């Protein structure tokens, strides 16, 4: 069954009061990269996913999940 990657990046970032630009600076990418990850347009590399989790003080598994397409 096909799977897709979902994320809680926007929620975690907002919880900490960070802008997309703030988070981008913390992890060394552009604000547009953060935007495209948050919107599910871009799937981050393992390294970027780990950097995002570290910057937000959480585990990768709490930020990113694989869900079955049928589950939506």
Instruction: State the pLDDT confidence band at 71, using cuts at 50, 70 and 90.
Output: low
CB-CB contact of 40 with 8 (8 Å): no
Residue 71 in any domain: the answer is no
CB-CB contact of 64 with 49 (8 Å): yes
State residue 1's pLDDT score. Answer: 59
Per-residue pLDDT tens digits for 25-53: 999 999 999 999 999 999 999 999 999 99
State residue 3's pLDDT score. Answer: 85
The tokens for 56 are 């937000």
pTM equals 0.88
Residue 66 in any domain: the answer is no
Domain that residue 15 falls in: 3-60
52: CATH: 1.10.260.40
* The pLDDT of residue 69 is above 90: no
The tokens for 26 are 């913390």
Tally of domains within the chain: 1
DSSP E strand stretches across 1-72: 3-7, 64-68
């Amino acid at each position: 069954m096909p799977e897709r990657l979902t994320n809680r990046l926007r929620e975690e970032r907002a919880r900490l009061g960070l802008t997309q630009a703030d988070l981008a600076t913390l992890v060394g990418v552009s604000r547009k990269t953060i935007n495209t990850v948050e919107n599910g347009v871009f799937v981050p590399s393992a390294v970027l996913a780990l950097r995002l989790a570290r910057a937000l003080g959480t585990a990768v598994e709490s930020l990113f999940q694989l869900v079955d397409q049928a589950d939506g």
